[in-house]
Amino acid sequence: MAVWNLGSVNIDHVYQVPHLPAPGETLAALSYSTGLGGKGANQSVAAARAGAVVHHIGAVGPDADRVLARLRAFGVGTDAIRITDTPTGHAIITVDAQAENAIILFPGANLLPDRDQVEGALADARVGDFLLLQNETSAQAEAARIGRERGLRVVYSAAPFDVDAVREVLPFTNLLVMNEGEAAQLQAALGQVPPVERIVTRGAKGAEWHSPSGEVLSVPAFRVRPVDTTGAGDCFIGNLVAALDAGLSRPEAMRRASAAAAIQVTRAGAGEAMPDAADVTAFLQD
Ligand code: ATP
């Protein structure tokens, strides 16, 4: 089976600064690093490192050679990523000495995928494959509809949260994944819990899989000393989908996802910090 992921690809530019810049200020950075980012790319990397066959669907600009090479190095298929004239999505991330940050996000080419691109990419998908979606690209609702019509298992990660985006995708979603803040916002907006399978992640308090029947499967978070929790949710989702795709049961898949995310938060970075399947197996044997 395979995992198809319509997702963002970003270039992250990270600047360490003595303080966050004030209006009108020109500030010299203390250091600079650049790397692969975006929720979509993070989830693709997490699933590929976990052992799934992953095809990323998206769009980048002419400046994306390095991030595409990085995705491929992590085992992510990039044939369904379109190269366009629009700049690659990117984030300008300033981080001060207290680890407080200020971020400018430019979506760029992430807003170019359309129905035709998704339809073409999914021509090779098979019934039972997974289709992953987040809220950082265009064409989510179209993709969800096509995925559902073709018998794919559609998993929607409702982040960054936007209630209208969720409303559009929900009718075609098999599994909705949110953190507890997003779940509370959705329930407040809809006036009820949505009647679909859904996972709510609660950081160090663990995660729950709620079924429409009312059944709840809870997994605790593993106790670790976190260094950087950025991307924990993406790690959890990528590993969960990879485990389900490999035929594991829901409890086993939730346990592996929880272990993977626990490892990931002990490492600095997001996409670059995703564990592989051997890391997770070793962690669970300890
Ligand atoms: P982010 O936005 O930082 O990517 P998120 O808000 O989407 O994360 P969380 O609910 O914070 O997602 O975390 C997802 C999962 O990661 C949790 O359900 C848990 O399994 C694991 N996790 C997160 N933080 C910790 C922690 N401090 N210790 C152990 N596991 C953690």
pLDDT at 145: 98
Is the C-beta atom of 110 inside 6 A of ligand 1?
no
149-158 confidence digits (pLDDT tens): 999 999 999 9
The residue assigned the tokens 């004239």 is 85
Q: What are the boundaries of each domain within the chain?
A: 46-88+110-285
What's the mean pLDDT in 269-285?
96
Six-digit token string for 86: 């629009």
Confidence at 92, pLDDT banded by 50, 70, 90: very high
181-226 confidence digits (pLDDT tens): 999 999 999 999 888 999 999 999 999 999 999 999 999 999 999 9
pLDDT, averaged across the chain: 96
Half-sphere exposure of 256 (CA within 13 A, CB side): 28
Gap from CA of 126 to ligand 1 centroid (Å): 31
220-263 confidence digits (pLDDT tens): 999 999 998 989 999 999 999 999 999 999 999 999 999 999 99
pLDDT at 269 over 90: no
pLDDT at 286: 84
Under DSSP, the state recorded for 62 is T
Of 96, 234, 245, 279, the catalytic one is 234
Is 233 annotated for ligand binding? yes
Is the C-beta atom of 237 inside 6 A of ligand 1?
no
Pocket-testing residue among 42, 177, 201, 225, ligand 1, by greatest number of atoms within 8 A of Cβ: 201
42-51 confidence digits (pLDDT tens): 999 999 999 9
Is the C-beta atom of 179 inside 6 A of ligand 1?
yes
Select from 117, 128, 9, 154 the least CA-distant residue to 72. 9
- CA–CA dist 212, 205 (Å, integer): 22
Instruction: Look at 284 and 286; give whichever has higher pLDDT.
Output: 284
What's the mean pLDDT in 118-138?
98
Strand-pair partners of 76: 54
Confidence at 8, pLDDT banded by 50, 70, 90: very high
Six-digit token string for 244: 């389900």
> E strands within the chain?
3-6, 10-16, 31-37, 54-60, 76-77, 81-83, 89-95, 101-106, 130-134, 153-157, 175-179, 197-201, 207-210, 216-219
CATH architecture assignment, domain 46-88+110-285:
3-Layer(aba) Sandwich (3.40)
Half-sphere exposure of 263 (CA within 13 A, CB side): 26
Confidence at 99, pLDDT banded by 50, 70, 90: confident
pLDDT at 147: 98
Q: Whose CA is nearest to atom 26 of ligand 1?
A: 204
Contacts of 168 (CB under 8 A, 6+ apart): 140, 141, 144
Confidence at 2, pLDDT banded by 50, 70, 90: very high
What's the mean pLDDT in 52-57?
98
Pocket-testing residue among 39, 176, 179, 218, ligand 1, by greatest number of atoms within 8 A of Cβ: 179
Contact 27, 50 (CB under 8 A): no
Is the C-beta atom of 170 inside 6 A of ligand 1?
no
Is 39 annotated for ligand binding? yes
Under DSSP, the state recorded for 28 is -
- CA–CA dist 233, 203 (Å, integer): 8
Gap from CA of 211 to ligand 1 centroid (Å): 21
pLDDT at 100 over 90: no
Residue 245 annotated as catalytic = no
Q: Which atom of ligand 1 is nearest to the CA of 258?
A: 20
- CA–CA dist 159, 183 (Å, integer): 10
pLDDT at 98: 87
